């Protein structure tokens, strides 16, 4: 009977120790997750501060500087610098030189 009581006490101590170690691991894991979520929130905040209008497309500059291409999901937009066009009139209506849109060479 004394041996059974000793064995039971050792088992309870082992379970208690395992439970304590498990709780410490869970606490450490939760702290790591809180840190990672905080870092993720900071990254998202920085991306939002950049401006959402910069995310969908990216301008590809022309080395000569007189035109650029803007790639969107299904088209390329040509923006020609009007100051280098022949016969440029700064007072002319902007509708006389509309922006040209060239469809992508592949189906969307």
Report the mean per-residue pLDDT for the chain: 72
Query: What pLDDT, on the 0 to 100 scale, is given for residue 106?
Result: 64
DSSP category for residue 98: P
| Cα separation, 72 vs 102, whole angstroms | 11
pTM of the model: 0.41
Q: What is the mean pLDDT of residues 23-45?
A: 92
Task: Please check the confidence at residue 85 and state whether its pLDDT lies above 50.
Answer: no
Q: Compute how many other C-beta atoms are within 10 angstroms of the C-beta atom of residue 97.
A: 13
Tokens representing residue 27 in the block: 């606490």
Q: What is the mean pLDDT of residues 17-38?
A: 94
> CA end-to-end span of the chain, whole Å?
81
- What is the domain partition of the chain in residue ranges? 2-52, 56-103
């Amino acid at each position: 009977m004394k041996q059974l009581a000793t064995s039971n006490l050792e088992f309870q101590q082992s379970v208690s120790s395992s439970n304590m170690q498990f709780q410490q691991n869970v606490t450490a894991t939760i702290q790591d997750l809180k840190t990672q979520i905080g870092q993720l929130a900071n990254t998202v905040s920085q991306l939002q501060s950049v401006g959402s209008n910069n995310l969908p497309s990216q301008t590809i500059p022309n080395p000569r500087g007189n035109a650029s291409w803007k790639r969107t999901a299904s088209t390329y937009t040509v923006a020609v610098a009007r100051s280098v066009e022949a016969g440029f009139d700064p007072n002319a209506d902007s509708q006389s030189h509309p922006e040209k849109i060239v469809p992508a060479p592949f189906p969307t």
